[in-house]
Structure 1
Amino acid sequence: MTQADEADTVEPMIHEDDLPGHESRLEPKPDWEPRYKGSDRLKGKVAVVTGADSGIGRAVAALFAREGADIAILYLCEHDDAAKTKSIVEGEGSRAIAIPGDLGDPQVCEQSIQKVVDEFGKIDILVNNAGEQHPDKDVRDITDDQLRRTFQSNIFSMFYLVQSARPHLKKGSAIINTTSVTMYQGSKALLDYSSTKGAITAFTRSLSENLVGDGIRVNAVAPGPIWTPLNPSGGKPPEELKDFGKSTPMGRPGQPNEVAPSFLFLACEDSSYMSGQVLHPNGGIIVNG
């Protein structure tokens, strides 16, 4: 990376608001455990899951492992959570490696992908799930560093990872990106975050067009309000947490293990005729997607 690149890379905002948060400290704990026995739908596959230390990423890693995949857990700095996810994957009989690093840095992405290939020999599935959000009531309160950091973490990282993984993806591979209901509804307090989610949806559709001819499918999942460390660690003001998710038609927040099956469907051959699409596990919110 050049000196100019280094100057343009914004450091993680961990010290500002304790992001992205530890699941080990969260109460009540999110439900990540798969609900059903596996059926080898991902047997012999290798999956890279970003943000897999906690929340939706952990639930995806656990479910993919139950279905037979080996898992590369990419995460920022929550080593205790990542170790827990690694033990969950291994408890399902699959292999796992945990790789820390800031995915907003293209060199970290390149090095992480190389570690996966060195360990497992291939990559079949890339789940771009890592992200961050910071609430601001006034658009003028969004600092330049925050704006750059949110885009860097949420969408730049996806470009960097796809660029690094592309030589290893082949016919039958799948890429799944995490967008959000905020892309469709908007969010008055998450202006920069919802903007990145709009970019992710456009990236998903465009990348699908770019890769579908090579037999690589690209889809996305747009969760609604899901109980993960992202919410109490910066996603929602403390006074609003008690009502988190109550505005959905189902009247409650979702759990990570209610979202993970959407990722599994898009990763396996059940969705072999789908690309450029978005699934919406969001508690019944009607969106034009």
Structure 2
Amino acid sequence: MSSAIEKAKEIAEKVTGQENTGEGDKTKYSSSFQHPAQSQKHPGLERDLDPRPVKAHLPTEDDGYQLYSPAGKLQGKRALITGGDSGIGRAVAILYAMEGASVAITYLPDELEDALHTKTQVEKNSGTIHLIAKDLRSRNAAQEVIEQAVSGLGGFDILVNNAAYELEQEDISNISEEQYLCTIETNLTAPFFLSKHALRHMGKGSSIINTVSVDAYVGPPSHLDYSVSKGGLVSFTRTLANQQARNGIRVNAVAPGPIWTPFIPAAVSKESQKSLPDATVMKRFGQPVEVATSFVFLAAQDSSYMTGQVLHPNGGMAVVS
């Protein structure tokens, strides 16, 4: 075993801050487990989520857990992850650190507690993490975030556009101008300008990975503005990939299905929460770690012949890419 892999595995045992999860948590990966419907004020806090999402343990065949096994795939890489304070973003930050990358994450100023928890999990005897408090909709936010990431990391090789906003509404008449603009500015405009400014610091072998959504493909009636923004991000991914291939920079996306994160109780009604697992073949919510592995694959050289593509960790929901 190479020294890099040995180091990655040593870090993995420490970075998660989690012990053996035990019998009581096996149900999180079982189709028979019912997540209790709950509500949170937007954007939601992971500390208040019940049960807590799983960020670094993958399911075994008997619905148990096994710690993610790193192989040093991102050794020496530098990654910026927007919305890295909780949910999928936190899981990506943890797995990237386990794989040897230094990371920077953005978070909304009122989510500092979640961001600090991510920092604690990543820093336990492992790599470097920088916290950047920023509302990505604010003027000049994208340029300022990129400058802070470059300053903190000394440059970067991976941009993960993950931060998102959603608020369920049953009819288009209920979507205010304020909500529509917040959705588009967070989910589509911010990734556009973050990518624009990031590309000045990226070179051959770099990657941009966008978090889109299964909603862009199935179009849930109550997720209209969110689906529009994520559909636009799919098109942005494909077009930017075609443009940047000449520079050796790959651009891909991940389209999660229903994943158990603070996003669910903050954006989705209790009634919808009860029905979401049934929309999947596996009949359950996915866990953040089950999505984060796709981000590792797309950032690593394992996916060297992929660009302009979308991966679909969605529990078996049928979509056409």
| Larger Cα-atom Rg | 2
Q: Does 1:73 align with 2:96?
A: no
Which residues of 2 match residues 127-276 of structure 1 at below 5 A? 127-234=160-267, 236-276=268-308
Q: Could you tell me which of 69, 72, 83 is aligned with 1:40?
A: 72
CA displacement, residues 76-97 of structure 1 (integer Å, 9 cap, x when unaligned)? 1300000011111112511001
Report how far residue 75 of structure 1 moved: 1.1
CA displacement, residues 115-171 of structure 1 (integer Å, 9 cap, x when unaligned)? 111122111000000001111111101001111110000000001111221110110
2: CA distance, partners of 1:180 / 1:120: 29
1: CA distance, partners of 2:139 / 2:160: 17
2: CA distance, partners of 1:118 / 1:247: 43
Match of 1:124 in 2: 157
Asked if structure 2 preserves the Cα contact closer than 8 Å seen for 1:106 and 1:157, the reply is no
Paired amino acid for 1:256:
P
Paired amino acid for 2:175:
I
Match of 1:11 in 2: none
2: CA distance, partners of 1:66 / 1:193: 32
Paired amino acid for 1:264:
V
Paired amino acid for 1:261:
T
Match of 1:84 in 2: 117
Report how far residue 106 of structure 1 moved: 4.5
Please report the TM-score for the alignment, with normalisation by the length of structure 1: 0.92
Which segments of structure 1 move beyond 4 Å, counting only runs of 4 or more? none
CA displacement, residues 215-240 of structure 1 (integer Å, 9 cap, x when unaligned)? 00000000000011011012x11233
Paired amino acid for 2:241:
S
2: CA distance, partners of 1:23 / 1:192: 24
Unaligned runs of 5+ in 1: 1-16
Paired amino acid for 2:45:
H
- Give the % identical residues: 47
Secondary structure, counterpart of 1:245 in structure 2:
helix
Q: Could you tell me which of 76, 79, 83 is aligned with 1:51?
A: 83
Paired amino acid for 2:120:
S
Secondary structure, counterpart of 2:169 in structure 1:
coil
Asked if structure 2 preserves the Cα contact closer than 8 Å seen for 1:132 and 1:154, the reply is yes
Match of 2:53 in 1: 30
Match of 2:3 in 1: none
Which residues of 2 match residues 2-17 of structure 1 at below 5 A? none
| Residues 39-48 or 28-37, more deviating | 28-37
2: CA distance, partners of 1:242 / 1:179: 22
Asked if structure 2 preserves the Cα contact closer than 8 Å seen for 1:105 and 1:157, the reply is no
| Residues 269-278 or 105-114, more deviating | 105-114
Secondary structure, counterpart of 1:180 in structure 2:
coil
Match of 2:43 in 1: 20
Match of 2:37 in 1: none
Please report the TM-score for the alignment, with normalisation by the length of structure 2: 0.83
Unaligned runs of 5+ in 2: 1-39, 58-66
Report how far residue 21 of structure 1 moved: 0.8
Number of equivalent positions:
272
Secondary structure, counterpart of 1:213 in structure 2:
helix
Match of 1:6 in 2: none
Match of 2:133 in 1: 100
1: CA distance, partners of 2:177 / 2:125: 43
Asked if structure 1 preserves the Cα contact closer than 8 Å seen for 2:183 and 2:225, the reply is yes
